[in-house]
Amino acid sequence: MRIGIFDSGVGGLTVSKEVAIKMPFNDIIYFGDSIHLPYGNKSIQNILTYSRNNVQFLIEKKCQIIVVACNTSTAVAIEILKKEFHPLPIFGVIEGGVREALKKSKSLKIGVLGTLRTIKSSSYKNKILQYSPRAKVYEVASPLLVPIIEEGFKHKAITIAIIKSYLEAIVLKIDSLILGCTHYPLIKKLIKTTYPGLQVIDSAKATSSFLAKKIPPTNPRNRKIEIITNDDNEVFRRIAKKIFPKEKVTLLKNENST
Ligand code: DGL
């Protein structure tokens, strides 16, 4: 089955990479809606419109399964997308991360880092409490992390200082931390070295393991990976090259959404 994956920009390639590794026999089409990045501080209405357009675009590309790699889109739009595009299977990134955190956490005291919109939606918290009502969830919006990661986090000391300032109020209370944003797996190592005692849950890894169990392999010979964006920018190309060194990036000429 052909898997369509979308995100607000390049970040969702972290999810695509894990999907590509765990599901080597499925075609993958990735769409990065870079023109509208960031989703994390946009209105719910706009995030919904962009997300709908992205799904529509991937349907036109003959995708039979959609993965919403963006945590913000998942938080705000997944239930609506599932209803509107029924019976198309649509998966988000929150479910996998939550299941993994509940497996790994001993104290059931779990932290979540995410964009403003993801944290405001309480989607991670609600999902954790749905599965485990005894859990305690500490959510922190960390909007500075996306831009610093996109900069290539050359300024390691500043990145560590930002991580510490976001986590200092909760880090002694929790034993596990969910990286609730597409970009954060790129600083997972840094978070782990800063807080070695913490279980760090990477939603990209958790989501791909979850999907691999659900989706049958279909193209055992020469599966294809296509990366498409609607904005030709250096950040997209640099990060895409780092994550998928061999795949070329196609620029979408006619913007699919405005
Ligand atoms: N892709 C977004 C997420 O995972 C992060 C970047 C943005 O704000 O658009 O929430």
Of ligand 1's listed atoms, the one at least distance from the Cα of 8 is: 9
Task: Provide mean pLDDT across the span 92-117.
Answer: 97
Instruction: For ligand 1, atom 7, name the residue with the nearest CA.
Output: 38
pTM value is 0.95
What share of the chain in percent tops pLDDT 90? 90
pLDDT at 220 over 90: no
How many Å lie between the centroid of ligand 1 and the Cα of residue 144?
12
Decide: 251 and 226 in contact? Cβ < 8 Å.
no
Pocket probe for ligand 1: among 6, 14, 16, 37, the residue whose CB has the most ligand atoms within 8 Å is 37
The question of whether 70 is a catalytic residue gets the answer: yes
Residue 222 has pLDDT above 70, yes or no: yes
Question: Are the CB atoms for 110 and 132 separated by under 8 Å?
Answer: no
Confidence (pLDDT) at 131: 98
Q: Residue 258: which pLDDT band, with cuts at 50, 70 and 90?
A: very low
Residue 101 has pLDDT above 50, yes or no: yes
C-alpha to C-alpha distance for 54 and 7, rounded to whole angstroms: 8
What pLDDT is attached to residue 257? 46
Cα–Cα dist 118/75, whole Å: 6
Per-residue confidence band for 118, with pLDDT thresholds at 50, 70 and 90: very high
Q: How confident is the model at residue 253 (pLDDT cuts 50, 70, 90)?
A: confident
Specify the pLDDT at position 239. Answer: 94
Q: Ligand 1 pocket: which of 15, 36, 70, 78 to mutate (most atoms <8 Å of CB)?
A: 70
**Which one-letter DSSP state was computed for residue 187?**
G
pLDDT, mean of residues 188-211: 94
- 149 ligand 1 Cβ < 6 A: no
Q: Please report how many Cα atoms fall inside a 13 Å half-sphere around the Cα of residue 144, on the Cβ side.
A: 11
Which backbone phi and psi does 197 adopt, to 5 degrees? -80, -10
Average pLDDT score over residue span 119-130: 98
> What are the respective helix, strand and coil percentages of the chain, to the nearest 5?
45, 15, 35
pLDDT in tens, 13-61: 999 999 999 999 999 999 999 999 999 999 999 999 999 999 999 999 9
State yes or no: pLDDT of 64 exceeds 70: yes
The b/e string for 123-141 (b: 16+ C-beta within 10 A; e otherwise) is bbbebbeeebeebbbbbbb
Closest atom of ligand 1 relative to the 41 alpha carbon: 8
Query: What distances in angstroms separate CA 168 from CA 42, 120, 132, 171, 181, one per listed residue?
Result: 27, 20, 25, 6, 19
Q: How far is CA 113 from CA 178, 210, 245, in A?
A: 6, 21, 28
Q: What is the distance between the alpha carbons of residues 139 and 167, in angstroms, rounded to a whole number?
A: 10
Helix (H, G, I), strand (E, B) or coil at 46: helix
Give percent above pLDDT 70 in the chain.
Answer: 97
* Res. 121: pLDDT tops 50: yes
Distance 154 CA to ligand 1 centre (A): 20
Which atom of ligand 1 lies nearest, measured to the CA of 39?
A: 9
Query: What is the arithmetic mean of pLDDT over 209-218?
Result: 88
**Mean pLDDT for the chain overall:** 94
pLDDT for residue 168 is more than 80: yes
